[in-house]
Every structure is written in structure tokens, then in C-alpha cells.
Structure 1
């Protein structure tokens, strides 16, 4: 085996490594908090920044703007990956955390759509672009920085703190929302209090900068700089270095595609599912996600440490294969525990829709297209979590069990009247659309399922920072690692809430969006089995790639 020549490196002290892990992880928590707080408050932002009558469309527009940030992550990965390989790891992610903090705080200052009209969502989109660019440089910088300080035999464990910090950002976003809810009355929180979590980013930015300014440059980068081994053009070399095209392909589909779709399904799809079609009380959902996410953070550390012993491939393959078998049953279980009345009523008195042009167009209002009467009914049923069957017919009819319910003409002129009228009619047959407060046994079951999903995420994510650092040569590591990671996380994962939402809105099946995750993971398993190295972890070498 011919290893890539390595310049002599200074060995970091234990105290320095603890500072590196602490400062890098804290900064990563804060930066992902900035990114996730938008998704955590999606149900409020749809009313603050989008003037639409359709609840489903409003949420899809929020998820579209959420996805914009992810769409620009690959560009940020290219830009900051280039800077990280040319100028150094430390100063590059100082820039990224500054951009993220400023952009997040900016959302808290934007007037609502009622005040400035279409300018409100446009400004939000621009700030999400900045966030996406910043995050494209953050993860790679923090992960590589820790990996290049860690001894090889502990690299998986040390870098797993960065992986846990991503979940930590999500947990922190929920914790801040819970604190704001406790301190601010509900009406005030919906009116102006939702801005507070965004403005808090100013304080988090100051803390992040203070902690990271205490750090020194990565010993690997320092040694390369002293030896004149800095890449001339990291972006070009990422695609011309021998064997790197295969490694980038494997990192994109066999690593990132798996981990990112499982992660967003576990956390964001779980949150949207409980809060939306299952009608669980908002505060209850936030507490459930906070408890589940806080406990699940430890799973990433366990898996990262385990991977130092068994290798990086085994945990990823185990988690991905288990996901194929457990994904749908997990969400079926969430549905039956969160709102058993919906599932029971649908089984006892199934809903059937007959009529002409019985398809729904979730973007009809946005593009000024006329939604059919049947489509309007289907949209309400889908948003309400009601399963149904559709059949062609000459006249629009809605039957529940064996009985037909009357459709009022006024329902087709006003979205709120249609929603309230249909729900009131279905409530007569046992469908429960009230805010749900599951009992303690059900709550424990929901938390247990979410922890199971969290473990699947940890298996496929806990060792990834170490794996990606080991896959690529040091002089182009920042770029080579960041590009596939942020393309995968940006498009395959970041668009998941939007894609899954469109699938659900188009099919009327509240579980159908899970097929997107299932297909991406299934393809990723094939790529990972083919392309990831077996056996114990090892540093990059040309003949290992």
C-alpha cells in the first residue's frame, strides 16, 4: 500500500482536542439552529409571509422557501470548500457562521405579507439563499477540523460530536420555541413572539465567534502549508484527482443520500405528520420532539465510537436496510397512537369520492389556475388526514360508509367554509379533527417510535464525518467532501419535505410521501455496498480509494 506523503504534524494536546471538539460542536449547534428554526416555525411562517387561502399550499410554499436554502448549499460548498483548502479550515468557518447568524436574525426583522406584500417572501428567500451558502461551508469545515485533530483510533468518536450537533441544532430550535411559548402569551407569540427565536441568533453568533476565535488552525493544514502542499485549484482537482470521481459518486448517493433522507424523515416529516394530519397539539408536538431529539443525540456518539472498532460501512448498511423494513410501520404506528379516531373512523366508515376530474392541483391558487370542485374537496380531506378512495362519476358525490353527505354551494366559494363544513360533516361519523392530547401510554409509544427513527438516523449518520474525511486526500479534502455532501443534503434531503408534501397532496394518502425516502435509501444501499470500503477504518491512501 502506497500512502499519500504526509508532512510532519504537531500532535494536539488533550486539552486542545477538548477545546476543538467543544468549540466546533457548539458552533455547529448554533449554525444548524439558525437553519432549522425556520422549519420548526413553518406552521406560523406560512401565515406571516404568504397570503394564500389554502392551508396545504401555504405549507408547501414554506417548504419551498425552506428548500431554497438547501438548493444553494452546493454552491456554498464549492465556494467555501475552495477557501478552506486554500486559506485554511479555521477562518473559513468563521466566515460561514457569521453569514448564517446575520441571515437568520434578518428573518426576525422582516415585516409580514400584510404590511409589505410580496416583498416579504422575496426577502425571506434572499436570506435563505445566504443561509444555504453559509451552511454549505460550515459542516465540511467543522467535521474536517475535528477529524484532523483526532487520533485515528478515536476519529469516529470525536467527529460524532459534530454529527450529534446537527441534531442538537434541531433540539435547540425546539427548546427556544418552548421557552418563548412559556414566556409569551399564545396570541402574542403568533403575532410577534415568533420573531424572538430568530433574533436570538445575534447572541448565538457572538458566542460562536468568541469560541472559534480561540482555536488554532488544523495541524494537517498547517503541515501542508509548511511543506507547500496546498492545492492550486481544489475544485478542479476534486474531479481530476485519481479515483475521486468514484469517491464523490459514492459519497453523494451511498452516504449522503441515505443519511439525509432518513434524518429529515425522522425529524421534520415526523413533526409535520403529528402537527398536520394527526392534529396533535402544537405544544405537545414540540415537547415530544424535544425529548426524543435530546435522547437521540447520544445515539450518534455511540455509533461514532462503535465505528472506530467495526468500520464505517457496517453501521450505515445496517441502518439503511432496517429503514426499508421499518419506515412505513413506524409512521403507521405514529398515526394510530397520535389520533386513533381518524384511523378507526376511516376503517369503519370509509370515505369515497365520485365525480369528474377528481384530481387535486396543490399549486392551483399560486398560479391562478382553477381547481375543480372535486379537487377542492380532496385538498381538504388530505390536509385533514382523512384517507379516501376516488372513482370517476358524472356528478360530485361524497359518501361516508354507505351514506352520502350534502355538499353546500358556499363551500366551493370559500376555503375556510369548505374546510369547516366538511370537517363538521365527517365529525358526525367519528372523525376527530380536534387538537389531540394523547394519553401517557400513547405519548410514550410516540416517543419510542421517534427514538427508533432517531437510531436509524444515528446508524447512517454517526460515523459519516470520519468516513468522508478518510475518503478524500487532505489537500482537497474540504472541497471533495463538501461538494457531494451538500448536493445530497441540499437536494435529496432539503427538498424532501416539499417533495413528500406534493406527493401526499397529489395522491391523498398521508403516508405516500414516505416512498420518496424509501426509494432514495434503496438506491443508496446498492451504491454503498459497491463503493464503501470494508473493514476497520483507515486514513486516505491512493490505492484504497
Structure 2
């Protein structure tokens, strides 16, 4: 086989590196633009497509719609990864781009629950699934295409631009949404303005497809095809042979899983935290996150470049170890900086729910049939979960009526067993009024005071999260390309990447906030990221090979 620097007769020359990087990376801009839109607009999606359930459940269902696209990504990786290894890199990610873009665009015109009932969330889920399948083949194609064009010693630098453009997608989405929120009144934005960013995506799609049509096939794939060295059964070869499957598992648990949770803990989870936990208004939260993302963009290129000199592994493993030990103190500092009044109230007047654990439900109802008002414990926890109030659980004797204690004040919940109809509703309303008054007296604010938000400190903390993400994400594409043989590369790297980012990372916001709702501890969901980052650190340090000096055309 020809070496990396040699070209076979008839092979196209002269395709500029800038065109290769730009065309390949634009798909990542689109992917993350759409990904972030769903996160930014989760509240609006909940209101329009899941209005048949209670508020807490509706928000988690909106996050599940967001996660649904991630759930099918590994299947898309199998389908399009095989096509990419058999047919070619270029045509495969043209198809994935078209499917992904049209699915996003369609959301902008989808009628809501009030217009077509249960069909609305079903169609939304279907569009998310289609998009997820397409994205399953998108990242792998971009990573492989750029790396197979890059000269030796520059693959980390070249492929880091994929991750950089991911941040551009996040910033574009955030800027669009913040601009609309400032331009429109809240009622107009919530009514129909939220649809405009989805509709605008057709412009990105048109530009991306036009540029990608100018591309030629990857030189590595052309050489393999001319030499008759392409795989006839890449899926069987990649996942049916232990020598390759072992690398897939090491890539997943020793690199991608940690990258996924660290990435989500830097980009999306802080946004939900600022809005739902620290009670910062949406426009301010979006501005703070977008500013931090803009500031850390050069770090992707820096760590990609650095990985070409010292290796991929030390940079990525260092980030995982730092994340394990820093997330809890950093997120606590984030809440304190964003809403100091609430942080002070949690310390001076902690909230406790004293209840029989057997009467307490898990505060999530995916089918909307549970009103969470059949036990005294549910009445208490539903109200506190809706307000994002941090509380501790204290066991009470079996059969005891639940109570909530706020500092030195205690309030016994209504007993649904002896109250019915209007009497029950009146009693619950009175209890909630008393609890809210006590929370106010204890210093718990309804929302963060804009004047008290320490914006510089919040942005600084968000930048720390972001730098950790760039340390694992910047070198990742080059690592994955170098880890697998060229003949099965598209399939092999796409599956672990999308299991990691689709399943492990994509479900992080949903699982994290379900854990918060279930336990009352606003920091409980962080255990998800910490445990997975720790697993990646251990597996990566012990088993992940260093790849930065490998010949990517070697079998």
C-alpha cells in the first residue's frame, strides 16, 4: 500500500486543507447547533409538546426527547459506518447531513400538543430519532476524512477544528436564542418565536451541502479501493474479531465515556443548573454560558496541537482525574456565585422532609397519570421539586404524616386519606402558601437577583469546565482514527463515539435531574459524571495505547 505521503496515479491533487477542514467541520456546527437548541428550548418544547403532564414530568420528558436522538446514534453509527467503509467517506456524510438537517428544520413547523394531541410528541420523537440515526454517521465521517488528509504529525491539530466548530454551533444557537428573547417579549417568544432557530437551520443545511459537494474522496480510501484492500464486511471484522472489538471497548470506556460526561458537564448541564437550580433568568444564563464557550474555543486547537507533540493519552487522562475531584466543589461554587441568596439560605435554614419512605414516590411520571397528591410525602416533595429547593430526607415512623422543616419552622402536610375534593385542594393550597412564606422568610428567593449574580466568577467557573472538556475532546478525533485500521475505521470509531456521546453523555441531563428530583439533593446528579470520569481514568491509564506516532494506513 502507498504511504501517507504518496499518491497513486490518477489520484486527485490540489484540494486545499482549508476546504477539507471547513467542509467536514460544518456538519459538526450543524450537529451541535441542533443539539444545543433542544437544550436551550427544553422549557418551550415541554410547554408545547408535553403539556398533558405535570410541570416537572413535562420538563424531564422534554429532556428525554432531547436524549432520544442520542439513543439511536449507535445504530446510525453501525449503518452509516458500514457504508462509509464500503462505499466511501464523502458520499456517506453527504447523506447523513441531508437527513440530519431536514429533521431539524421540520421541528420549526410541527404543530403542538394543543393542536394535534398525542401525535405532537410522537412526531417530535420520530424526528429526533431520524436525526440521531444520521448523526451516528456524521462525526465519524468528518473525523476520518480530515485525519486521512492530514500530514503526519498534524492530525491532532487538524482534527481539533471539528471540536472547535462544535463550539461555534453551540454559540450560534445560544446567540440566536438570546437575541430572540431580547427582541421579542416573553409571551411572543414562548408562543411561536422559539420555532425560528429550527427554521433557520435550513440555511446552514444549504451552505453545508453546497460546500461538501466540492469535496473529493479521502486519499486513504482511494488508495485502499485501488489496491482492493477495502473490507467486504466491516461490521463483522470490527466487532466480530476480538483484536478489534477489544480496541472498541477500550476506546469507549477508556476515552469516549469520560469525554462525553465532561463535555456535557461543561456545555449543557451548567445551563440547566443555572436556570432550574440557581434560578437565573434564561437570557442571562444563556449569555454566561455562551461567553464562556467563546473564550475556551482556542483551547481545542491548543490541546489538539499539544497532543501531536506529547501524545493524546496524558492530556485526556489528566482531564478525567481533575474532573473527578473538582466537580462537586466547582458546582457548589457556581450556585453560590449565581444565586448567593439561595446558597446562604441553604446553609442557614436547611430544608428537611420528614416522612415515611414507603409513602414517597419517585417524582417522575412518563405517562402523566400520577398527580403526586395521594400521600402526604408526595404533596411535600412535588412542591419542593417544582421550586428546585434543596432538601434532605429524614425517616419518620411508618404511617406518619409527612412534614417539612425549614430552619426552625415545621409544617405538617395535609393527609389525603381523610381529605377529598375541594377540601383536599384547599388544604394543599394553604400548605403550599405557608411553606412558600416560610421559604421567603428563610431567605430562599423566587429567582436570582440579577444584580447579585457574580458574572465574572460564573464565567470563570464555566471556563474551567470548558478547558477540561477541550482537554478530552481536542485530541479525541485523532486518537480514534489512529486506534483502528483504515479498512474498518469508519465503523470502528463511530460506534464507541456514539455510544459514549449518545447513551452515556446524552442521557446525563435527564438522569441527573431525575436524581435531583428523586432525592432532593441539588448536587446528586453530579455523581453520574464523577463516577464515569473515574472509570475512564482507570481504564484509560491501564489499557488505552498511545497512538500519536502511528501510521494510519498500516493494517
Task: Give unmatched runs, 5+ long, in structure 1.
Answer: none
SS where residue 472 of structure 2 aligns? helix
User: 1:368 deviation in Å?
Assistant: 2.3
Task: Give unmatched runs, 5+ long, in structure 2.
Answer: none
Q: 1:374 aligns with which of 366, 372, 377?
A: 377
Asked if the contact 1:52/1:365 (under 8 Å) is kept, the reply is no
Q: 1:412 to 1:69 in 2, by over 3 A?
A: farther
Q: 1:223 to 1:541 in 2, by over 3 A?
A: closer
Residue 45 of structure 1 corresponds to 45
What is the rounded CA distance, in whole Å, between the counterparts of 2:266 and 2:14 in structure 1? 35
Does 2:450 align with 1:449?
no
Q: Which moved more, 1:428-437 or 1:449-458?
A: 428-437
What is the rounded CA distance, in whole Å, between the counterparts of 1:451 and 1:496 in structure 2? 20
Q: 1:81 to 1:222 in 2, by over 3 A?
A: same
Q: 1:104 to 1:412 in 2, by over 3 A?
A: farther
Q: Calculate the TM-score normalised by the size of structure 1.
A: 0.93
Does 2:402 align with 1:396?
yes
Residue 189 of structure 1 corresponds to 189
SS where residue 46 of structure 1 aligns? helix
User: 1:340 deviation in Å?
Assistant: 1.3
Asked if the contact 1:501/1:513 (under 8 Å) is kept, the reply is yes
Residue 501 of structure 1 corresponds to 513
Does 2:302 align with 1:302?
yes
Asked if the contact 2:254/2:538 (under 8 Å) is kept, the reply is yes
What is the rounded CA distance, in whole Å, between the counterparts of 2:217 and 2:431 in structure 1? 61
Q: Which moved more, 1:371-380 or 1:407-416?
A: 407-416
User: 1:490 deviation in Å?
Assistant: 1.1
Q: Calculate the TM-score normalised by the size of structure 2.
A: 0.92
Asked if the contact 2:345/2:442 (under 8 Å) is kept, the reply is yes
SS where residue 194 of structure 1 aligns? helix
Q: Which moved more, 1:518-527 or 1:25-34?
A: 25-34
Q: 1:34 to 1:367 in 2, by over 3 A?
A: closer
User: 1:411 deviation in Å?
Assistant: 10
CA displacement, residues 233-283 of structure 1 (integer Å, 9 cap, x when unaligned): 111111245621111001111111000011111111100000001110110
Residue 9 of structure 1 corresponds to 7
CA displacement, residues 378-401 of structure 1 (integer Å, 9 cap, x when unaligned): 233234232223221522222222
Asked if the contact 1:94/1:209 (under 8 Å) is kept, the reply is yes
Asked if the contact 2:402/2:412 (under 8 Å) is kept, the reply is no
CA RMSD of aligned residues (A): 2.4
Q: How does 1:50-65 map to 2 (within 5 A)?
A: 50-52=50-52, 54-65=54-65
User: 1:534 deviation in Å?
Assistant: 3.6
Q: Which moved more, 1:372-381 or 1:230-239?
A: 372-381
Residue 86 of structure 1 corresponds to 86
CA displacement, residues 170-216 of structure 1 (integer Å, 9 cap, x when unaligned): 22111111222233332111100000000111111101101111111
Asked if the contact 1:35/1:104 (under 8 Å) is kept, the reply is no
Does 2:440 align with 1:431?
no
What is the rounded CA distance, in whole Å, between the counterparts of 1:419 and 1:216 in structure 2? 65
Asked if the contact 1:34/1:100 (under 8 Å) is kept, the reply is no
What is the rounded CA distance, in whole Å, between the counterparts of 1:132 and 1:229 in structure 2? 30
Asked if the contact 1:337/1:445 (under 8 Å) is kept, the reply is yes
SS where residue 152 of structure 1 aligns? coil
Asked if the contact 2:392/2:521 (under 8 Å) is kept, the reply is no
CA displacement, residues 329-365 of structure 1 (integer Å, 9 cap, x when unaligned): 1100101111111121122122222233453422247
What is the rounded CA distance, in whole Å, between the counterparts of 2:484 and 2:430 in structure 1? 58
Residue 362 of structure 2 corresponds to 361
Residue 113 of structure 1 corresponds to 113
CA displacement, residues 93-152 of structure 1 (integer Å, 9 cap, x when unaligned): 011110011100111111111111111100000000001001100000011100000011
Q: How does 1:504-543 map to 2 (within 5 A)?
A: 504-534=516-546, 536-540=548-552
What is the rounded CA distance, in whole Å, between the counterparts of 2:146 and 2:5 in structure 1? 18
Q: 1:23 to 1:389 in 2, by over 3 A?
A: same
User: 1:4 deviation in Å?
Assistant: 10
Asked if the contact 1:21/1:161 (under 8 Å) is kept, the reply is yes
Q: How does 1:266-305 map to 2 (within 5 A)?
A: 266-305=266-305
Q: Which moved more, 1:79-88 or 1:422-431?
A: 422-431
Q: 1:15 to 1:326 in 2, by over 3 A?
A: same
What is the rounded CA distance, in whole Å, between the counterparts of 2:546 and 2:423 in structure 1? 60
Asked if the contact 1:308/1:536 (under 8 Å) is kept, the reply is yes
Asked if the contact 1:411/1:417 (under 8 Å) is kept, the reply is no
Q: How many positions carry a matched residue from both structures?
A: 540
What is the rounded CA distance, in whole Å, between the counterparts of 2:492 and 2:371 in structure 1? 47
Asked if the contact 1:234/1:479 (under 8 Å) is kept, the reply is yes
Asked if the contact 2:40/2:174 (under 8 Å) is kept, the reply is yes
What is the rounded CA distance, in whole Å, between the counterparts of 2:134 and 2:437 in structure 1? 47
Residue 72 of structure 2 corresponds to 72
Q: 1:14 to 1:259 in 2, by over 3 A?
A: farther
